[in-house]
Structure 1
């Protein structure tokens, strides 16, 4: 396991916090733990890209957890088994540990094959990551096409196109949306559990939200999956599951939060001019 710790931003408070994290990591007395500390702050986008690139070149595959995640006891077994199972299934670009909560899917025993990906606990291979660039993006005509937006957003599942446009125009600094665009561009799929194996607690304090984020007040978190699922067919997209996800209460909340975030950024940008 390699622990990557980004460098501090140029203020004393951040420097002391980063040093506390480094001290904690140095104290992980395990022979299979190494670490990589940065002297300056590169931000999440560049840190993820550089770290995943380094490890896929060294090991051929990687499992990625950020520091605001809680994982099921079966998480590593799930990711390692899936990486092995789908290694030669080149249509599969990633293994995902997070699943939006949808009641019809909670008790399914097999994984889902879906035509997108997700950044909250995931894994991939060098064969896929080597085809990815942080600057990969559609043309302006494609981005403004109704057909592109419908396909990329999966008919209203989530406003991915708006996130991609915000990243291209510099309003957000995302690695994930360009990774998803690359998967989409190549007709790739990801393997998802029917019920999450990884949960994210960064909604109210972290990179995914702030103290006013209503997620924790509006969404009841399901229990993490604690038994290994059967691994499904990588060639058959689960369109019925997509329909169930589209109706998910959790996703409705996340779509609302995304809209509120876009509105806030737009108003801030107008105020700067």
Structure 2
């Protein structure tokens, strides 16, 4: 394996240990670890965060380990976004796992092959390890393309991530246009996503992934999905 792996951790030592064991099996040459700090007024968070971070000290293969640990709790949106900003200052492309996303070992080879194949294809924004079709096969091929970026185990490039817009600068203009209708062509879906994006814009939802969906759609981006699920959550 030659691709860097990003491991996003917090306060779940049990699930972190399970994901770490799979990472250990494939032995990436570079491991970039993003950790949020303990939440105030949450008894036990400090101990859980410390126990989780200690798992990273178990790296026992030839691996460059880089750590980006927050001293205080930033919340999932700010922590993951600032962490991935840091990641893509270090590397051009990476495979990304959170502490509760357990990959099949073949997930890494799948990501590596597609990172290489589509490295210069500006249409492709995300390579996902997720398939939520419950046995329904979209194609006879091993993967297919979707407009929906699923991020329970995924990979991307600096060229894609640098387009991420934390401030949602274009949202008001496109909210008041027919842009979502043109993309989704479904009035129910338009109402659903308008509500989600508006709540994100107003700060009512502390998540980062819906903004990645918006970023991808603004770029007419595509996500690659496997024909079978490669990551459990």
Q: Could you say which TM-score interval applies, normalised by the shorter chain?
A: 0.7 to 0.9
CA distance in 2, matches of 1:124, 1:138: 22
**Relative to structure 1, is the Cα distance of residues 30 and 154 closer, same or farther in structure 2, using a 3 angstrom cutoff?**
farther
Q: Please list the CA deviations of residues 151-193 of structure 1 after superposition, one character each: whole Å capped at 9, or x if unmatched.
A: 5556356933322121112211121111111110111111111
Alignment of 1:82-231 (within 5 A): 82-105=114-137, 108-140=140-172, 142-145=174-177, 147-151=178-182, 155=186, 159-200=192-233
1:31 equivalent among 37, 59, 62: 62
CA distance in 2, matches of 1:195, 1:119: 15
Q: Please, what TM-score do these two structures have when normalized by structure 2? A: 0.76
**Relative to structure 1, is the Cα distance of residues 33 and 152 closer, same or farther in structure 2, using a 3 angstrom cutoff?**
farther
Q: What's the RMSD between the two structures over aligned residues?
A: 2.3
- Count of aligned residue pairs for this structure pair: 199
Q: Cα distance, 1:33 vs. partner?
A: 5.4
Q: Is the 8 A contact 1:99 1:194 kept in 2?
A: yes
Q: Is the 8 A contact 2:138 2:144 kept in 1?
A: no
Q: Normalized per residue, which structure has more strand?
A: 2
Q: Is the 8 A contact 1:134 1:178 kept in 2?
A: yes
CA distance in 1, matches of 2:216, 2:198: 17
Q: Is the 8 A contact 1:70 1:199 kept in 2?
A: yes
Runs ≥4 in structure 1, deviation > 4 angstroms?
A: 151-154
**Relative to structure 1, is the Cα distance of residues 115 and 106 closer, same or farther in structure 2, using a 3 angstrom cutoff?**
closer
Task: Point out the structure with max Rg over C-alpha.
Answer: 1
Match of 1:57 in 2: 89
Q: Is the 8 A contact 1:69 1:199 kept in 2?
A: yes
